[in-house]
Amino acid sequence: MLDRSTVLEVLKPVQDPELQKSLVELNMIRNIEVDSGLVKFTVVLTTPACPLREFIVDECKQAVKTLPGVTDVEVEVTAEIPQQKGLPDRVGIDRVKNIIAISSGKGGVGKSTVAANVAVALAQLGAKVGLVDADIYGPNAPLMFGLSDVRLEASGDGILEPAFNHGVKLVSMAFLIDREQPVIWRGPMLNGIIRQFLYQVAWGELDYLIVDLPPGTGDAQLTLAQAVPMAGAVIVTTPQTVALADARKGLRMFEKFTTVLGVVENMSYFTPPDLPDRQDDIFGSDGGEKFAAEVGVPLLGRIPLEIPVRASGDNGIPIVIAEPESASAKALVSIAKSIAGKVSIVALG
């Protein structure tokens, strides 16, 4: 007989490929309805940015269709994002589910570009996202979000209301300081600023809080590590040997206090606009892939060097919005999905 329990039974062997557990066991199948031959149910994913969304829905449909009497299957997809372990219950951070650090060993490899686009891509996929620009020596996020002229001031109780654009809440040193202030004065402020950005911002409910760190393995990384537990860290590098050597140092440091979710290879190749089939490996070939394999973490994706990436960053409209069909935008959306998938594994692990 075709009813709720036979549907649930036939769905039991269907697994979430990343979590490697049955969807039924994970309580991801809800609201089963059977109306003669029509079967309807909801799949509750662990992130709206699930990289395997279509695959999972297809597997479920195929399984249910094997039941005698089924004429049609309708699947609704929603998401409930699990919270990482160990987050303190303190104002500002109390409704944040997952904190993700984006870091690089070397400067100028595109870390802020990746952080901004991953944040916007996750928001476009339906997640609630915040971004902390913790790069106090070169805060670029306001420019990339078209918010260069914004100034923020904490209210009487010391709480900062974040700026907002492209679906992302944002705080940055650039919103607080006098731009003429010498960079040398910023170092001693670092500890306080990072804590303020975590605990004294009216973040509200956030699925992902992304922290764009300065390059290297310095005070900002240690301050963040001491200030709050993270779901994980992402290392951005170019395929170049010198960038990879620095990335290795960064990775070893992060491994001491969080999960390294993976490596992003940026500026992987250049395709001349008039020669769409060509790929010039300007900074070397497959460096990111070899590096990821060597250190035993996933390669989350490769982003080509494209002029519109730079131009869109300078114009305040990240490439995933400005040119969503470009190879770099597609790579960045796929990277955002991979990061979300890995964060779910950490949270449920």
Ligand X SMILES: Nc1ncnc2c1ncn2[C@@H]1O[C@H](COP(=O)(O)OP(=O)(O)OP(=O)(O)O)[C@@H](O)[C@H]1O
Q: Which residues bind ligand X (CB under 6 A)?
A: 104, 107-113, 135, 138, 140, 215, 266-267, 303, 305-306, 309-310, 313, 328
Shortest distance, CB of residue 41 to ligand X, whole angstroms? 41
Token pair 């309708």: residue: 74
Distance CA(347)–CA(142), nearest Å, equals: 30
Nearer to ligand X, 41 or 269 (CB): 269
Distance CA(190)–CA(136), nearest Å, equals: 7
Shortest distance, CB of residue 216 to ligand X, whole angstroms? 9
Nearest Cα neighbor of 231 from 104, 134, 347 is 347
How many residues would you count in the chain? 349
Shortest distance, CB of residue 258 to ligand X, whole angstroms? 20
Q: Is residue 108 a known part of a binding site?
A: yes
Nearer to ligand X, 70 or 171 (CB): 171
Task: Give the max Cα distance, the chain.
Answer: 75
Q: Is residue 313 a known part of a binding site?
A: no
Q: Is residue 301 a known part of a binding site?
A: no
Nearer to ligand X, 47 or 328 (CB): 328
- The β-bridge relationship of strands 299-305 and 260-270 is parallel
Shortest distance, CB of residue 111 to ligand X, whole angstroms? 4
Which residues have CB under 8 Å from 98's CB, separation 6+? 81, 83, 84, 207, 208, 209, 231, 343, 347
Q: Nearest to ligand X by Cβ — which residue?
A: 107
Contact in structure between 75 and 61 (CB atoms under 8 Å): yes
Q: Is residue 111 a known part of a binding site?
A: yes
Write out the H or E segment, with its range, that includes residue 211.
strand 206-212
Nearer to ligand X, 124 or 140 (CB): 140
Q: Is residue 107 a known part of a binding site?
A: yes
Shortest distance, CB of residue 283 to ligand X, whole angstroms? 10
Q: Is residue 110 a known part of a binding site?
A: yes
Q: Which residues are annotated binding-site positions for ATP?
A: 105-112
Q: Which residues are annotated binding-site positions?
A: 105-112
